[in-house]
Amino acid sequence: MIQKTNKPKEQYLKIFVYGESGIGKTYLAKTMDNVLVLSIEHGLLTLQDEEIDFIDLNLDEKQIPLQPKDKYKFWMTVLNTLKTKKDYKWIMLDSFTELSNQLYSALYPNYLISTHDGKQRIDFSMYNEFFLKIRSLLSSILSLPYNIVVTGHPTFDQESKERKIETYGKMKNILPSFFDEVFFYTKKTNTKNETQRVLITQLDEYFYAKDRSNKLDQYEMPNIENIYKKIRGEDGVKVEKLSNKKTKN
């Protein structure tokens, strides 16, 4: 069926937000209308005063902690059940970094080999299985019929001198290409010496970010629903603005 790009039948936003621990990534769920949180970080305390649905990806259907060997299969089962549209506008995975770490830890023991000097090392074929499985998980998440927000942690890349998204192997370099929007969540001080939490939406010399919509300012207030409305161009929407766009690190 032929459609118009400005009037698609159904077009969902795919957003990645990364930032240091404690900056408030999980709290962003509070700024989304009708969200389901897929939690794997045990960081829901910040939402204890909100009535938000969540699924704990560390527990099975009986709320028993999952064994490492069972996690990937269970995660895929959860994602498959969400393919049938539920009454949510947003799905938030918190976080991709912890999902990667747990998958890596589950695979690691199966790929230890002994060397001639009696030590152990990882068989590098593990990274291929890791890549295939983490890509499958990510593709399953992004194919769901909802707007998607995925959170993650940064790591400092010594070669490029940039903060990048923390994960393993070649996924580190291609991960941003899966998303429409990539935001770095941090604090900035404006010319009035006021500290504000902001989402950096555009690439600079220190942070990787991108705004495929070309509708966002370089610094946006951390309100996902308002950003959604701004990208969609919804009329009559009052979008939060930074009090002063001149900022410094």
HSE of 227, CA atoms in CB hemisphere, 13 A: 32
| Residue 245 confidence class, pLDDT cut points 50, 70, 90 | very low
Lowest model confidence (mean pLDDT) among 14-18, 111-115, 197-201, 245-249: 245-249
Mean pLDDT of the 163-170 span: 78
Structure confidence by residue, pLDDT tens digits, 180-224: 999 999 988 877 888 899 999 998 777 889 999 999 999 999 999
CA angle at 243 for the pair 154 and 196, rounded to the nearest 5°: 30
User: Looking at residue 178, what DSSP letter applies?
Assistant: G
pLDDT tops 60 at residue 228: yes
Q: What is the mean pLDDT of the chain?
A: 85
Q: Where are the domains of the chain?
A: 14-216
pLDDT tops 60 at residue 246: no
Architecture of domain 14-216: 3-Layer(aba) Sandwich (3.40)
Structure confidence by residue, pLDDT tens digits, 3-61: 666 655 558 999 999 999 889 999 999 999 999 999 998 878 888 888 999 999 999 99
Contact indicator for 14, 179 with CB cutoff of 8 Å: yes
> Residue 178's closest CA among 145, 148, 198?
148
The DSSP bridge partners found for residue 17 are 151, 183
Lowest model confidence (mean pLDDT) among 33-37, 93-97, 108-112, 241-245: 241-245
pLDDT at 19: 92
Q: How many CB atoms lie within 10 A of CB 42?
A: 10
pLDDT at 40: 93
- Distance (Å) of CA 37 to CA 42, 80, 128, 150, 235: 11, 15, 29, 10, 28
| Residue 243 confidence class, pLDDT cut points 50, 70, 90 | very low
Give the ranges where the chain is alpha helix by DSSP (H).
68-81, 96-107, 125-142, 171-174, 224-232
- Which pair of structure tokens corresponds to residue 24? 């408030």
Cis peptide upstream of residue 213 (ω within 30 degrees of 0) = no
Mean pLDDT of the 239-249 span: 45
DSSP 3-state of 154: strand
pLDDT at 239: 46
